[in-house]
Structure formats: C-alpha cells, structure tokens
Structure 1
Amino acid sequence: MTSIDPTQSPAQARSGVNPFYFAAWRWHFYAGLFVIPFFCILAVTGMLMLWISWADGRDGERTPVIPQEAALAVSEQAEGAVAAIPGGTLKQYVAPRRDDLAAIFRVDLEGEANMVVVDPYTAEVLEIFPRRSGWYDFADGIHSNLMLGVTGDRMLEIAASLGMVLIATGLYMWWPREAGWRAALIPAFGRGRALWRSLHGVLGFWISIVLAFFLVSGLAWAGIWGEKMVQAWSQFPAEKWDNVPLSDDIHASMNHDRKEVPWALEQTPMPASGSHAGHAGVDAEGGSAVDIDTLDTLAREIGFDARYQLNLPNGEAGVWTINRDSMNTDDTDPTSDRTVHVDQFTGNILADVRYADYSLAGKAMAVGIALHMGTLGLWSVLANTVFCLSVLFLCVSSVVMWWKRRPAGAGGRLAAPPLPRDMPMWQGAVLVGLAVSLAFPLAGLTLITVLALDVLVLQRLPALRRLVS
C-alpha cells in the first residue's frame, strides 16, 4: 500500500523500494489469508446481534404488557413462573425496564435454564423458552467461539491477534512517503486494481484505530490474552471488602453459557453468607424476612431503578446478588455498573461494587464492552453497523486486489508477494516480531510457525514454493 506500481516485476520493484515494504506486504498477505474469513464472520454476526438486540431484545425483555395501577409482589410473580415449570428452581429475577414491559424469571430444571416471561400485574405466564435460545444467541455463539468451544475461542483469538499484525503492516505500507497525506486520506478514483487499492488503503487507514479498539476489546474476552494475561491482574480485589468471608466460588460461576458478569469481577471470589459481617441492608433482626420481596425493596431503596437483575443464593454459603451493567443491556451508561451482595441469613450488605471501584483496566473494559456491543443507544448501533460494513469491504477488496494482481497463467498458485532478498537492519524486524509475540502469544506462535514454514520448508521445496509464489 504505497505509490509502487503493482504491475512491476519483483526485480524492478526491489530496485526502488525499501525491502521492508515487501516484507510487510508478504506478512500482510499471509495474515490476511487466515484473518479474512474470520473477520467476515465476526462482522456479519456482529451486525445481526446489534439489530436483533435493538429491535427485539434478548430473553423476552421487550415483551409488552398493559400497565395497571400497581404490580403484584415479586414473590407472587415468581410463584406463577415456578408453577409453569413443575419441579423447577427459581434462580433469577429480571425487573422490567418500563411499566409496559414484562418481568422475566429464570427457572432451572434438571440443569436446563428456562426463561419465564410474566405479566407483573396479573402473574400470568406469557411465554416460556430455553435460555439463550434465540437468534441473538445463535449469532452470539458464532461470534464468541464459532460454536466450537475452546477450539473456536483459540481460532478467533489467533485471528484477532493477527489482525493487529494486519493493522501494523497495512499502516506501514500506506503511510505517505512521496505522494503526501492527501493520497493517504482521500481515495483516488481511478480504474481497475488502482481504484480498489486506493479505496482499501484509505478506508483501512481511517478505521485502523477503531479496528484496533474492537480487536483489543474482543481479545479481552479471549481465553489466553484476556483471561490468563490481562483479566487476571485487572480483577477487583476482594480484599477491599472489610472482614467479609469469601466463598470458594468466583463471580464467573454466575455465568451461563455466555459472559454475563462484569469483566472486572469475573475472577474475584464471591462473598459468603453465614456471618455478622457487612452493614445494614434488610432488617432481619427487626423481623423482616430476607426474601425476594424484601430484596426487591432494598434494591429500589439503594438506587436500582428500572431494570436490574436479582440472583438468588446458590447453596448454604450463597448470597443474594443485585446487579446492573450495560453489558447485559440493563442500562445504556456503563459508568452506572453496580453489583451488590447480600447475606442470605442476616440481610446485611456484604459488598457494594461500583464502576468507580474498578481498576483502570476494568473501567476501560466496562466502557469498551458497551462500545463494542453497541449498547449505548441507537447512535452506537448505527456507528457499529458502519464499522462492520467497512470491515466487510476491506475483506472483499483485498480478495479483488489479489485476484487482479495474480500473474497470467497463475492457475492455482497463491501468488504471494515476493520475499525480499536483502533485508538491512533485519534485527529491527526481529524485535518487532518479538514484541508482537510477547503482547499477543497466539499471534507470536502463529508468526513463528509461518516463518518456519516459509524459510525451512517453502524455500527448500521448489514445487511447493511455486504454488505460493
């Protein structure tokens, strides 16, 4: 992506262009071979999730009801939900975000989570369906791990990590040297491959920072870079809770098939019930029962208005958890994220974690996830849609450019960019590769593998070298 003539022979091109350009182009090509199909999948499923969530919501959260004078007690609504699934166990209550929307209860039966949509004014059950079974969740399953579990997660992490290589090499090639900034920022509407190349380079240049943000925010959920490297040292320290007994469970235990707990809390141990720790919440000593009704009242008293989630205690040491976060579309403001844990026996508030309590990385992720998922309102849905379409265009245009660049009679050859013979200051390239490997381990492992194949295999097998040259 410079002013070089793509029709030049490798020998002609090498005579006038820095060999680093061809090295960057070759790595850009190899990274693109792996990344393009995954980026297309992520862009398409991302747009599906954006618009399904905006238009229809998730897990019945947009089911309409006719408002009446007053809603029934949450316990009465819950009774209707549990009665609809005989033998089921109530696990969660999701308060409606408006007076004209239904309440939602999660009722588990034999390990299966079911969502029961209830009219809060009559306790009538309006709908029952398995949790995470809608079209949003189908797209989310592909977007998260290709529905392949850990294998899919690792494949997407490699793709996102190599995406950072694409950005770095693309910026290096398109950076204005002789043509000036106008050519870098404004497309030249020529013909043929030159037009595609200009559109690809300019668009890639403009969205490079946004693409890097989406890749990093997505990588923060990945199994290696996210959970093992970044999240592990960015979790909320449970030591901040004064003399509160801790459970053997971590917050991630509240997840169900998908990431649902705020990123900064996932690895943090849960507090445990069964002590006199904490401060006044539900007045159990004054005779108030610690149940779903008093917890709902407490939630409203301490500032949880409109939609919030109430998770019931899990086992003897479990706690009531009142939660609101933008990742679960409870609110459009990520800085309003809040998680409160209440002792199931004493009604005392054991922990009250707000956005302000997160680490810097936790705060960045709370905002980053909201931007990534487009949960900040219609403007973010539209902005993310434009971005997804831009990524799809970059993928399509790269394939078109490759097709147009292929020499006549190439047949089934990949026609990779030429490998430069002379690489002055090659140590600098090694240091860059080492930095990428340290920052993104799976990208480093992939780069080393491809480099080994390129140098140790392709260069020693003429027939195979011709296939990719």
Structure 2
Amino acid sequence: MALSQSTGVDSRPAAPNLSQKFYFAAWRWHFYAGLYVIPFLIMLAVTGLMMMFITQVDGRDGETLRVSVTGAEMPIEAQMQAVLAAQPGAIVEWIAPKSADLATVYRIAPPQGGNRMVALNQYTGDVLEIWDRRAGWYDWADNMHGTLLIGETGDRLIEIAAGLGIVLVVTGLYLWWPRGNWRAALLPNLRARRRALWKNLHGVLGFWMSGLLVVFLISGLAWTGIWGEKFVQAWSSFPAQKWDAVPTSDSTHAAHLNHGSTNDVPWALEQTPMPMSGSTAGTQGLAPGEAVSLGSVIALGRALGMEGRFRVALPRDANGVWTLNRDSMSGDSTDPFVDRTVHVDQYTGKILADVRFDDYSLAGKAMAVGIPFHMGLMGLWNLVLNTLFCLSMIFVCISGMVMWLKRRPTRAARLAAPPMPEDLPFWKGAVLIGLFASLAFPLVGLTLLAVLALDVLILSNLPRLKRVVS
C-alpha cells in the first residue's frame, strides 16, 4: 500500500466507482457512435432543409405556378390535347391545383421512357412549363437524403446511421442527465468559456431536441429497406383482404403508382396489391351508363369531397384502375387525417376500394402523420419547427466535433477516444442488449455487436492498434 510519508494516508487516487465506470462507458459509446453518425446527420439536415424550402418556393410538381383566372376552365379533353401537343406520350396522372389561380399539372410517360411534368393554364390551354421530375434539385436532395445517390448501399448506410443516432441520443441523455442541478441541464451557461461553453451549448441544445430527434429517426427508419420495408411496413400494410370479392393484381401500389425516388403513395398502402378492373365487384361510383373518362373520374373525386389539390392516376393496362388520391405526404393537404385513396374500375365506374386514415393500422396511422411532419408539410408551424430543428442539429454536430478537437492532444496520432473503464461489470448485459437490438433493428444490432467485439476482443490484444483508435 502506498502511504504518504507525512500523514500515513494512502496517496493513490481512489478507484472509480460503478457510476463513474458507466459514465465513461457511455461517453465512449457516444464518441464512437458520433464518429459515424455526425456526417450523416449533417447531410440529412442540409438536404432536409433543401427539400422543405424547394417545396415552399418552387414546389415538387409545379404547384406554385400561377395563372390568371380568365373565365371557365377548358374541358378536360381539350386540356389533354394541349398537353400532348406540347409533350407527346401517354398521360399517366392529373394533378389538381390547390386554388383557382394555380396551374393544373399533368404527368406524361413519353415514348423514350421516364416521366415528364407539364404545367398547363387550364383557362387558355397555354403550356407554362415542361420538366423532367427526376432532374430537379428537389429530387437530387431527396435521392441524397435517402440513398446517398448510390442506391441500396446508401440506404443501408443511412439505416445504420439512423439506428446509431438513437444510441447517440440515449448515451447523450445519460451523460447530460442532471445530477442534482436541473437548471444547469436545461439552461445554457453563457458565462462559460472555451471548451466548457461548447460543451454546455452542445448538452443543453441536445437535451431539448432529443425527443424530436428520436421522432425523426424512427420515422426515417420506417422508410429504410430493412427495418422499414421488411419489418414494420410489411407487418403494418393495409390488408387487401378488406376489399371483399375484389380481384387484385400482382402489382403493388408502390410499383404501380410511385416513380423514381419519389413516393406518392401512402406508406400503409405501398406494399398492398392493386385491385383489378374487369369484374362486377365494387360499389356505386359513377352513374350507371356514364362514360368512364378522366373528366368523369375527376367529377367523382370532387363529389366524394376531394376539394383543392388531389391526384388522378390513369389505368396503365387492360386490368388497371383509376386511382384518386389525396395524400398529405405529397403536399396535397396539411391535414393527414383527411388522406384518402379511391380505386375505380375503368369499365364499370364502380368504386373498388376506398381507403381512409381510419382504415390504417396503428403503425400506418403513425406514419401517415409522421411522414408529412417529418417533411414539414403540415403548415407554417411545422416548417418553422423543422427549420429550427435542422439548424440545431447542424450546430450540435459541429459543436461535438469542436469539443473533440479541443480535447484531443495536439499532433496526437490517435483518436483520443474516452477511455474504456477497467473491470466494467455487466459486460454480458451489453451483449444481450446488442442481440436484442439485432432483432429490433437488424443492421444496427449487428453493427453494435461488431463494434463491441472489436473493442473487447481485438483491440485489447493489439496494443498499437488500440492506441490509434483510443
């Protein structure tokens, strides 16, 4: 025992207690998760801001193009002729304007493939603008936001980042949780200086935005290819069996109605099979004997209460249906509780399916609200809130990097990660948590187990490598 010569008291530093060991373990996990997650969070915040403001200023589908109301609208057949004269191809979708002084938009499938959008003055027949929807800045940002522009691989990397983001939130809350001083945790200390100020602002702002960040991460994860598509969405899709005696096709809503990286179909319906035309099934839609055309289907939509902006997708083949859709995810309204999708037989005009918000599962309802909220489409308050959130996220990420650089020794050839406490009990519990996470969030759980194995089994036996990443 090392005793002080003058006092006879043990002069060695006291061994860290259990609480301190857990603090350093949480700090270490927070640090490593941040190394991976921060670049993704900054990218998601920047592209999210881009999409929100492009939607407000320029729109995704020409919904901000204004026209002068000069009388009655041209008949739909005349509008279609004007559109096809300017852009040859097949009309696949009609999009109503939100108000009388905005342009009507048509989506065209040209012979060479792809999708072209045509904005039309519905009063004069003048074509205002033609563009490829996939070529705009919104679509670039949307593709970057969801796939890093590299397809499925990017989707998987972002899914891991979103899951580790939850780890970042949990460990961050543990580190910043007030231990007897709530004021210090909830209010920034602007009198602090240097690294202490950065740490204080990082912790306080992170504390306040943690709940909202979890909402964004979960709603984002529900869009991903593994946890979202294979697990949650597959279990929560609207069951086509609810359409009694209505024949269904092999094509899903997503395959039939979505195009490119843009999702226009409600989340709960994406994996649901489409109904088919050509049977005697369905309920009364158009009047018996009335011709089934774009004009009559639009009139049916308005008779069903679809006011303002809604969409009509035309049948693609002999088995296809007319689809009327009003979806807050597509910016058709700011109220997800009035979302509605109606399928109409192209031969009889009967309604084959009429799906509303109340028909969704609990997860479907959560996503019906969560997606437009995530996209800032539920009104001005939502846009302002999401803008402040994205800017806060960028600051929290940057401040985390600044704290690391200020703590890291000058010219140190290592990461300067928080040290792993020795003799940390319950490490087997961490393995169990990792296994549970693997079941709930497969890619995230596997990543956690891989990092844990690297930290415990490999680095401990390779001193030089351990020093570099420590």
TM-score range, shorter chain: over 0.9
Q: Check whether the contact 2:434–2:446 (CA below 8 A) recurs between aligned residues.
A: no
* Fraction of identical pairs, as percent: 59
Secondary structure of the structure 2 residue equivalent to 1:228: helix
Secondary structure of the structure 2 residue equivalent to 1:398: helix
Distance 1:468 1:13, change over 3 A: farther
Match of 1:101 in 2: 102
Residue by residue over 1:138-158, the C-alpha shift from the partner in whole angstroms, topping out at 9 and shown as x without a partner, is 211111111111011111101
Structure 2: how far apart are the matches of 1:129 and 1:409?
Answer: 52
The alignment status of 1:224 with 2:226, answered yes or no, reads yes
Of 344, 347, 357, which residue of structure 1 is paired with 2:346? 344
Of 252, 259, 280, which residue of structure 2 is paired with 1:256? 259
Match of 2:84 in 1: 82
Q: Check whether the contact 1:338–1:352 (CA below 8 A) recurs between aligned residues.
A: yes
Q: Check whether the contact 1:29–1:416 (CA below 8 A) recurs between aligned residues.
A: yes
Secondary structure of the structure 2 residue equivalent to 1:151: helix
How far did 1:13 drift? 8.2
Residue by residue over 1:422-460, the C-alpha shift from the partner in whole angstroms, topping out at 9 and shown as x without a partner, is 112334333333332222111111111212222233222
What is the count of residue pairs matched by the alignment?
454
Match of 2:188 in 1: 187
Structure 2: how far apart are the matches of 1:397 and 1:143?
Answer: 22
Q: Check whether the contact 1:458–1:464 (CA below 8 A) recurs between aligned residues.
A: yes
How far did 1:408 drift? 4.3
1:265-414 aligned at under 5 Å gives the runs 265-283=269-287, 285-286=288-289, 288-410=290-412, 412-414=413-415
Structure 2: how far apart are the matches of 1:17 and 1:164?
Answer: 22
How far did 1:137 drift? 1.5
How far did 1:407 drift? 2.7
Which of 194-203 and 324-333 deviates more?
194-203
Secondary structure of the structure 2 residue equivalent to 1:350: strand
Query: Could you tell me which amino acid in structure 2 is paired with residue 459 of structure 1?
Result: S
Residue by residue over 1:238-265, the C-alpha shift from the partner in whole angstroms, topping out at 9 and shown as x without a partner, is 1111211111111111110122110000
Distance 1:12 1:408, change over 3 A: farther
How far did 1:17 drift? 4.8
Secondary structure of the structure 2 residue equivalent to 1:122: coil
How far did 1:79 drift? 1.4
1:125-274 aligned at under 5 Å gives the runs 125-177=127-179, 179-189=180-190, 190-253=192-255, 254-257=257-260, 258-274=262-278
Residue by residue over 1:401-431, the C-alpha shift from the partner in whole angstroms, topping out at 9 and shown as x without a partner, is 1111113452x31111101111123343333
Structure 1: how far apart are the matches of 2:14 and 2:435?
Answer: 31
Secondary structure of the structure 1 residue equivalent to 2:425: coil
Structure 2: how far apart are the matches of 1:255 and 1:12?
Answer: 63
Secondary structure of the structure 2 residue equivalent to 1:90: strand
Q: CA RMSD in A?
A: 1.5
Tell me the TM-score normalised to structure 2 length. Answer: 0.94
Distance 1:280 1:17, change over 3 A: closer
Structure 2: how far apart are the matches of 1:426 and 1:413?
Answer: 25
Of 65, 72, 75, which residue of structure 1 is paired with 2:74? 72
Which of 99-108 and 451-460 deviates more?
451-460
Match of 2:10 in 1: none
Structure 1: how far apart are the matches of 2:241 and 2:439?
Answer: 30
Secondary structure of the structure 1 residue equivalent to 2:131: strand
Query: Could you tell me which amino acid in structure 1 is paired with residue 284 of structure 2?
Result: A
Structure 2: how far apart are the matches of 1:424 and 1:248?
Answer: 54
Task: List gaps (5 residues or longer) in structure 2.
Answer: 1-12
Match of 1:6 in 2: none
Structure 1: how far apart are the matches of 2:365 and 2:81?
Answer: 38
How far did 1:16 drift? 8.2
Residue by residue over 1:206-253, the C-alpha shift from the partner in whole angstroms, topping out at 9 and shown as x without a partner, is 111100000000000000010001000101111111211111111111
